[in-house]
Structure formats: C-alpha cells, structure tokens
Amino acid sequence: ECLTVVISSHGSQNPVVTNQLEKLFPENFRVYEHFVTTYDGEMRTMDIMEAFDENHCKELKNKPKFFFMQTCSSRQGKTLHEALDTGVDVEIEIKKPKIEPAKFFAPPQSTMDQDESWQSSMDVKGAKPPTFVIGGKNYVDITGRTILLEEEINVAPPPCYHNCMVVMASPSERVAWSDNDKGGWLLYCMYQVLSNYIRNGHTINLQQAVTEVSHMMALSMESNTAEEEFNLMKCVPAVTHMLIQDIILVPPGVLA
C-alpha cells in the first residue's frame, strides 16, 4: 500500500510573515514557502503534505508517499525574465565514427520536430509582469530586481518526510511549463515513461523511472510561445526523496 498525490495548478514561492518569525529573525530576514493556487485562493504546499504525515494520518505510517507537483516555483515579486533559466551556450564537437554503433534506444524526439501549432505556457503565479503602469503610463522593467546585500533570503522547501518522495515540476525560483496539446511537462513525461514500461510488460522501478522522466523532460521538451524571447526555454524537475527501499510497481498482467 502507498499514497500518490498528483497536483496540477499554478504555484509560487510567497513570503511568510508571522509573529513567530518576527520574534525569531531580524527585520531584514525574508522567508519564502511554496504555495499552490486553488479555486478560491491559495494553499501552503506544506499543509497538503502534513495532512498525510504520521501525526495526522496514522493509517499511512511507514507507508511510502509520493507527491508529484506540476506547479511553478517562481518567487513572488520576481520578473518572468528572472524566473526563467536560459541556460548556457556549449560548443559541442561531434566526430562521426567510421562504423555506426547499434542504436539500442531511439533518442527522444524533439518537440521542435513535431507540429508547430502547439503553444507553451508557464504555470506561474508569483512572477510579476515585465510591464507596469505608473501615472497612467506604461513602463517596461528591463533592469530586474536586485536583492540588497543586507537582505537575507531563506526559502523553506516543501517537506520531505520519512519514506516519502516529492517531485516538483521546476527547481526553486523557476517557472514550470505546459503545452496546450500535452499539458504539464512533468506529467506528460511521466505518462510517456510509465506507459512505455507497461507496453513492454516490465515492472517499474519508481526511482529509476523518475530519473528517466527527468532525462526526457530535459532533452526533448522546449518552449514554443508567441513571444520569441520565451522560446526554446528548458526546465528539469526537482526531486527529493527519503525512501527507505526501492519502490517496484507491477502493472496488471505483468509477473513480478
């Protein structure tokens, strides 16, 4: 027995202000936590996970728990440009061998080789727009927000409890992506990887499968938007786990 929670929504890292924090830390100390956008507001991701911990759900004590979060992790107050990871340019020199090696695995097909009618969007809530209005006039923020040296920043990630795995669709302070034809990148790649195991009649080692999901997402997914400056963006999931053993899933009809 195990618990699997899948959430697909907008999200952000928001500042946390409480009387307890004000007493513990100096005035210039800022603490951010991850929040998930809901129909009528937002909810702390920590509260969702704590609802299933050993103190609140004794039936799940010592049983593995998996949380897959197709949500953005951008920090509230940052511009979209600051929340994007544009990567770095790398020069690659390829020397073609005289004998073509056997291709045991077909490389993932790039999304750019497919129908270009699809569009990407960001699962972002916290990032502020690159334009703003002052005195009835439109301005474009091209400077970006800089953090004062005396301002201390601390990001409290979603908790990862004993025998638990947490997979976020993007790293801390970064946007997550969705396509209008595939949905969220994380969930799409999970579906492709797990379906491949099932079609081939194989058992699923979850930790290995999540690694393959990360590989597929990093290699084959890239953004395609109406705004050229946001095209060809990449993203990889952030995985944290404290599982105490390998998790082997056995699809129906497959011998363990």
Q: What is the pLDDT of residues 90-103, one digit of tens each?
A: 777 776 666 555 54
Structural domain includes residue 160: yes
Which residue, chain included where needed, has tokens 């195990």? 2
Task: Please give, one letter per residue, the 3-state secondary structure of 128-152.
Answer: ECCEEEECCEEEECCCCCCCCCCCE
- 3-state SS, residue 74: coil
* Greater model confidence, 240 or 256: 240
Over residues 117-150, the pLDDT tens digits come to 667 776 766 555 455 454 555 544 444 443 333 4
Q: What CA–CA distance (Å, rounded) separates 234 from 81?
A: 13
**pLDDT above 60 (res 89):** yes
In a domain, 201, yes or no: yes
Gap between the Cα atoms of 128 and 131, Å rounded = 8
| Segments forming the whole domain that contains residue 59 | 3-84+109-249
Q: Has residue 16 got a pLDDT over 70?
A: yes
Interatomic CA distance for residues 187 and 169, integer angstroms:
8
DSSP-derived letter for residue 109 is P
- The number of folded domains in the chain is 1
Amino acid at 33: E
Q: Which amino acid is at 134?
A: I
Residue matched to tokens 């009835």:
136
Q: Is residue 191 part of a domain?
A: yes
CATH number at residue 41: 3.40.50.1460
**Average pLDDT in the chain:** 80
User: What DSSP designation does 101 have?
Assistant: P
> Is 94 inside a domain boundary?
no
